[in-house]
Amino acid sequence: MDSLPTAIAGLKTWKLALIAFIAGVLSVLAMAPFHLWPVLFLTFPLMIWVLDAVALREDAATRLEDYLNRLKSAALLGWAFGFGYFLAGIYWIGFAFYVDAQRYAVLMPFAVAGLCAALGLFYAVAGGLAAAMWRRGYARIIGFVFAFFCVEAARGYFFTGFPWNLFGQALAADDAPMQMAAYIGIYGLTLAALFIFSAPAAFIAAPGARFDRLRVPALVAALTLAAFYAVGVQRLQQSVGDVPGVRIRIVQPNIPQQEKWKPENRRWIFERALQLSRSGTSGEDIAAFTHVIWPESSVPVLFAFNDQIYSDEVRDALSALIPDGTSLIIGAERAEGSREPDGRPRFDRAFNSLFLLGKGAEIRAVYDKIHLVPFGEYVPFRDVLMKAGFSAFSHRLDGFEAGLGPARPIETPQAAPFLPLICYEIIFPGRTGNLPERPKWLVNITNDAWFGQSTGPYQHLHLARIRAVEEGLPVVRVANTGISAVIDPFGRILNKIDLGKAGTIDHSLPHALPITCYQKTRMQSFIALFFFTLQFYLAMVALAKVR
């Protein structure tokens, strides 16, 4: 086996990049819906040996030019890994281009490849940083872990942030290790995943190395993984009861995105949501429920204009639907503007919003989505790019405006406050950390119909489960085409409607857990993990020098 890194080291750069690309593609198997996380025991060491090929060249640092070439080659290998990882992991973004195929289909391969290539630049930075830190011995593996940990954290925040398929999600594949998110969060799990899955690289020496074959790191990685399972199993022994007197009905209408905004379809789409709400798939009357929840953009017309329900017909239908003692939570579009002299509305701004309605269809609370999807819901540098022909994928081609943040808990008469999160706002950790009042549950309304029967909705659901564990809060997830679910604060799915099915879920609301360790020490724990890993790397470098 020691000949493997030597053989890899003799390959040309383009062949090394191809290996890195394949490693990136295979790594996606560790994510939802596959959860084949042991594959990372192969792909991470493979990336380390590929980086060995350029970072351990004997003449790599004799001159500045050689050193820079080493960094460039390592950055190229990191980019190839990232390009393969994102291409296989978020290919489903391309499905959105076929919703309006006449306008966008021709752009799909260029846009998806371009986005994945751009996201791959994060891993190019990781490759270059790792090469700068590369030393013979186990220090090179810690350097790899540190570099990729920093970049994984960075992509969750830079350029609006995209913490999708972080490596820590592989460790959260099973309920037991997922519980560690309550202590160290998704970024702590990501650091642990990088360390655990890279450890097998220590069993095979790098080319020309004398002290690379170390058994202790692999033993530590195995003990860490075992400890995660043990802590998780113990935590799952706790019982969670239900909030007394609270019953929730989730409505999943399953409307194809291509049909949603066609004028001739508006009536039957709206009537399907009304019918499912009245009696559900169980036949139980709506009056038995304290909360009925519809998904994002569930009303296929403009819902509110200047804080009033825009259509008299919609208002009357909802007024007849909502009984006393029931709240209706819906996702819909609202606009602000003024009236023309003839009474017609003039829209100045539009928002992707969540509404809380009470008896008589009274609007009791409104939340405007804060974290919009670039090009999906808004066009960056709108004035310039729209002149060049760019538009948002939404039916509102000029896009939506972002709401004023942060999101605040919404009070309902029948239950404790909930925090509204629309669509991919659920993928960002730490949403309740800075709030003056802690909510008791999370409501995530979404419309994954854009992405069809793909891996995207499963990945989205898995992220919602991790948020539940981090926050110690139940999550009620309501999707247009699936996957809708009631998730307890341990991240376990209590009930769900599968992808591509219409129906309802009638369920009680689980209690919240006490505030988690992660929420108490969110930023402090992240900084501690950062410096711990850096100090560990420096210790390994010093140990190698002593030897």
Distance CA 272, CA 444 (A): 21
Catalytic residue among 152, 296, 333, 471: 296
**Is 527 a residue whose pLDDT tops 60?**
yes
Per-residue pLDDT, 386 = 57
How do the domains of the chain map onto residue ranges? 3-208+215-236+542-546, 243-370+405-512
Q: Are 431 and 421 in contact (CB under 8 A)?
A: yes
Residue 521 DSSP SS3: coil
- The full length of the chain comes to 547
Mean pLDDT, range 230-252, rounded to an integer: 96
Alpha helices in 156-260 (DSSP H): 168-171, 175-178, 181-198, 216-235, 257-260
Catalytic residue among 423, 425, 470, 471: 423
Is 260 part of the annotated catalytic residue set?
A: no
Per-residue pLDDT, 384 = 55
Mean pLDDT score across all residues of the chain: 88
Is 150 part of the annotated catalytic residue set?
A: no
164-184 pLDDT, tens digit per residue, is 999 999 999 999 999 999 999
Give the CATH number of domain 243-370+405-512; options: 3.40.1710.10, 2.40.40.20, 3.60.110.10, 3.90.226.10.
3.60.110.10
Q: Are 450 and 257 in contact (CB under 8 A)?
A: yes
Give the up-direction half-sphere exposure of residue 325: CA atoms within 13 A in the CB hemisphere: 8
Is 116 part of the annotated catalytic residue set?
A: no
**Is 117 a residue whose pLDDT tops 80?**
yes
**Is 477 a residue whose pLDDT tops 60?**
yes
Global pTM reads 0.92
Residue from 136, 142, 188, 141 nearest 167 by CA: 188
Catalytic residue among 260, 369, 440, 496: 369
**Is 478 a residue whose pLDDT tops 70?**
yes
**Is 353 a residue whose pLDDT tops 90?**
yes
For tokens 């993984």, the residue is 225
317-326 pLDDT, tens digit per residue, is 999 999 999 9
**Is 24 a residue whose pLDDT tops 70?**
yes
Instruction: Write the DSSP string, 319-352.
Output: HHH--TT-EEEEEEEEEEEEE-TTS-EEEEEEEE
Which is more confident, 434 or 147? 147
**Is 439 a residue whose pLDDT tops 90?**
yes
Per-residue pLDDT, 3 = 62
Q: How confident is the model at residue 344 (pLDDT cuts 50, 70, 90)?
A: confident
Per-residue pLDDT, 203 = 72
Q: How confident is the model at residue 328 (pLDDT cuts 50, 70, 90)?
A: very high
**Is 2 a residue whose pLDDT tops 60?**
no
CA–centroid distance for 130 within its chain: 25
70-108 pLDDT, tens digit per residue, is 899 999 999 999 999 999 999 999 887 777 777 777 878
**Is 347 a residue whose pLDDT tops 90?**
no
Q: What tokens does 155 get?
A: 């992509």
**Is 345 a residue whose pLDDT tops 70?**
yes
